[in-house]
Structure 1
Amino acid sequence: MTQDNRHCASQPPANSKRRFLLDLVALSTTVGLAGTAQAALPGSADFQPKRRQGMEGKRFGMLVDMRKCIGCQACTVSCSVENQPPIGQFRTTVLQYEVDQSDGSAPAMVSLPRLCNHCDEPPCVPVCPVQATFQRTDGIVLVDNERCVGCGYCVQACPYDARFINHETQTADKCTFCEHRLEAGLLPACVESCVGGARVIGDLNDPNSEINQRIHAQQKDIKVLKPGMNTQPHVFYIGLPDEFVNGVDGQATVRLVAEH
């Protein structure tokens, strides 16, 4: 598997980057740069800070059926209209990938929806020196923009490249599963606007929810991105090619060589 040279050159080794960030946070808390709201550090009992109150008894997740995604970007547009990120910055998008075929035939085009994975063990939470990034009891990961100082630690810690520093607010920004809509009994903008019905969101604690039923029916085909990171992502994919499970980095389009 090979990737576009420009893309690869901009990506530092994941392990060394993570180690550097953790060491940097530890140093900042030691010398008092983080103030009274210190980040929980590896090895402590509260490495993942206590979750804040969410929707009682629920655990939200999203299922993306790539067989139904046509790459129309309706989800990207509707998310931008709903959440108003700066022009040119997106909380979710559908990236286009070109996969070389081993038999020499024409490359296949793959549309891959990308967004925050609202992990059960989110690496973005413990690295925040002021605990502006937090997780709710219903699994949704959010950012307190009044507390965020825009240091970018969480942006670097996310293995899914799902975060960015908002150009206007100078604070961390990302997909929130449109929690304000969920709390009002509505679907996230991206789910509601998907013309192919490729996105499904629901309560994973409810055995009768559509997402649970579909995951159960397609269990052998369910995959997540970068399972080896042990973040326990809660965005699940159907139809995700094996080459993408551990081989997708960054937001730039890459060229992958099919191995199977």
Structure 2
Amino acid sequence: MTRYGMVVDTARCIGCMNCSVACKQENNLPKDVWWNRVLTIGGEDIDTPDGDFPNNTLDFISINCQHCENPACVKVCPVGATYKDPETGIVRQDYDKCIGCRMCMAACPYTGVRSFNWEEPKYHIDIATGDADVPKHQKHVVEKCTFCYQRIARGEEPACMELCIGRARFWGDFDDPNSEVSKLIREREYQQLLPEQGTKPSVYYLV
């Protein structure tokens, strides 16, 4: 068995958003669609610190689909368009099966990790960018982070890993005790998003 996932070192993340841009470019995402967002912790707006001077803090957290081990979205999809890949553990979306009911969006406890194409997708430029193996974006379907499945199928890492200048992101198989990600969560203190929901996310945040 393989259970791919990601570890993000929040102490090393500088909020540069290179991961967001890499994701958007690689997956040819439509206008105003972001599968990976970097949020500022505590501040009311982006890049605004928390606290009062001189005791301010400025921290960031990147949010994408958590590719849960126990995904709530899969349970509610009436047509099997949202499913968990048995070989990788990655939660995937089949655009051709999706009927646009958005039940997966309602069931997912992680706000904003999915988007819905209300209209035919529009782009900033007239030519497609990124990987040629990315499925064509369609009208009236739900989309989300795929962990760059097209790259995983070729034995590569997700695009967001390559452009992280702080080297804050780590990728690997959590079912392999000798993988870097497994070692990190054994040796370091970490958090997961909304663990009380019982979804068992495959994204861990080192603190």
* Normalised TM-score (structure 1): 0.66
1:128·1:154 contact (CA, 8 Å) conserved in 2? yes
Residues matched between the structures, number = 180
Q: Which residue of 2 aligns with 1:165?
A: 116
Paired residues of 1:63 and 1:200 also in contact (CA < 8 A)? yes
Identity of aligned pairs, percent?
Answer: 41
Match 2:94 to one of 117, 135, 144: 144
Tell me by how many angstroms 1:136 deviates. 1.1
Question: How far apart, CA to CA, are the structure 2 residues paired with 1:194 and 1:79?
Answer: 11
**Partner residue of 2:201?**
233
**Residue in 1 aligned with 2:156?**
186
| Counterpart position of 2:134 | none
Any gaps of 5 or more consecutive residues in structure 2? 44-49, 122-137
Out of 69, 77, 81, the position equivalent to 1:128 is: 77
Counterpart-to-counterpart distance in 1, 2:30 and 2:53: 41
Larger fraction in helix: 1
- Alpha-carbon separation, structure 1, partners of 2:101 and 2:28: 22
Contact 1:96/1:112 (8 A) holds in 2 = yes
The answer to whether residue 68 in structure 2 is matched with residue 119 in structure 1 is yes
Q: CA deviation at 1:178?
A: 0.8
The equivalences for 1:101-120 within 5 A come to 101=51, 105-120=54-69
Question: Equivalents in 2 of 1:236, 1:139: separation in Å?
Answer: 15
Counterpart AA for 1:212: S
Q: Tell me by how many angstroms 1:105 deviates.
A: 4.5
Using CA pairs below 8 Å that are at least 6 residues apart, which structure has the higher relative contact order? 2
The ranges of structure 1 where at least 4 consecutive aligned residues each deviate by more than 6 angstroms after the TM superposition are: none
What is the SS of the residue equivalent to 2:205?
strand
Query: Which is greater in Rg?
Result: 1
Q: Secondary structure of the residue that 1:212 maps to in structure 2?
A: helix
Q: Which amino acid aligns with 2:176?
A: D
Q: CA RMSD in A?
A: 1.5
Q: Which residue of 2 aligns with 1:82?
A: 26
What is the rounded CA distance, in whole Å, between the counterparts of 2:29 and 2:114 in structure 1? 12
Q: CA deviation at 1:98?
A: 2.6
Shift of 1:61: 1.2
Write out aligned runs for 1:20-39 (5 A): none
3-state DSSP class of the match of 1:125?
Answer: helix
CA distance in 1, matches of 2:28, 2:99: 20
Output the CA distance in 2 between the equivalents of 1:193 and 1:105.
Answer: 32
Q: Deviations over 1:55-86 (max 9, x none)?
A: xx211111010011010010000100011121
SS at match of 1:81: helix
Of 198, 204, 225, the match for 2:174: 204
Q: Distance in 1 between matches of 2:55 and 2:107?
A: 36
Q: Structure 1: which 5+ residue stretches go unaligned?
A: 1-56, 240-260
